[in-house]
Structure 1
Amino acid sequence: MYQIEKMDSSLYLNALVEGNSRIISKIYSTNFSQVKRFILQNKGGVVDAEDVFQKALLQIAVRHKKEGIAIKSSFDAYLFTVCKNLWRRELNSKKNRVTNQEVIELVSEAKENANALVEQKRHELFLEKLNMVSDNCKKILSLFFAKVPYAEIVESTEYNSETVVRQRVFKCKKKLTDLIRGDKRYLSLQEL
């Protein structure tokens, strides 16, 4: 096993934005087990931990690219805090969902149709941009969005480990996100 050298936060941030596989792999090997342990201890599973970790890395990369964030603490501590906040937000949203089937929300037909139209336009934009990424990314993302476990994705692709697949999913999601956000229609289709 190789020794992970100490790097400053800006190097990690730039590696996320640039998609540097070597450094992203180090981020995974250094931090994922702690995030997984936290989520398993707080009503979550391994898949939840993987999703939260991916979202956190993507969120940090996008924020750094957009705002050029500077981390005052260590990168590891910052990443763990982002993961904890994402998981707590997820738990809170699950807790606040109404499960009473007798509650009927009164929504005007016009508002419902407008929401359906916006949702359709979002879906069309998503599919259009998905078709712009490489064939490899399309395959990986299709499997990921279908919630195929990482182990099965490894078996059906040329990749040799789940870590490599996670990195590829991260890069492909980032590319897709950049394409969507770069489209002039994106702002008009955001949720208010």
Structure 2
Amino acid sequence: MKDEEILKRLKNGDESALQYLYKKHYRMMSRLVLKNSGTEEEARDIFQEALIVLWQKVRAGNFMLTSKLSTYLYSVCQNLWRKELERKRRLSSEEKDDIVEQNWEEKERIELVRRCLKQLGDTCQKVLTFYYFDRMNMKEIAEQLGFASADVAKSKKYKCMQELERIVRANFKKSDLI
């Protein structure tokens, strides 16, 4: 089918012309996307968008083809893929910024807790540090600190947490920790 005939069919609403274009030019258009960091699915989406652009322009009645139809479709795909890559790059950059900000906020919260921990007695500092930072269980903490049992370590941890909570509330607003 010649380009003029395809355009005439599109103008008349003949969707089989789109199917013809898809079968004839998909491989060439998909290579464009695949060679430029895209996937097969993205290539399909981009080419379908390009066909929609062509369909809409031809149906609007103001379309003038100044090159081969394949060249026009290729340039539309190129522009659509560039926009998609730019969108992905922007999103990736924003995600990285979010992760950096989250890590910074988490480090800041940990530092606030560490400052409050320093205000506790030596035994409470050790119990909470062993449990929360070193991930030791109650039996290991009891052995390390010479407590009679894991239950004694658990009771001590509870009392130390209450004291730590009191210190945190006295020194910081809720918004400092959120």
User: TM-score, normalization: structure 1?
Assistant: 0.46
Higher relative contact order (CA 8 A, sep 6+): 1
User: TM-score, normalization: structure 2?
Assistant: 0.49
Task: Flag the structure with larger Rg.
Answer: 2
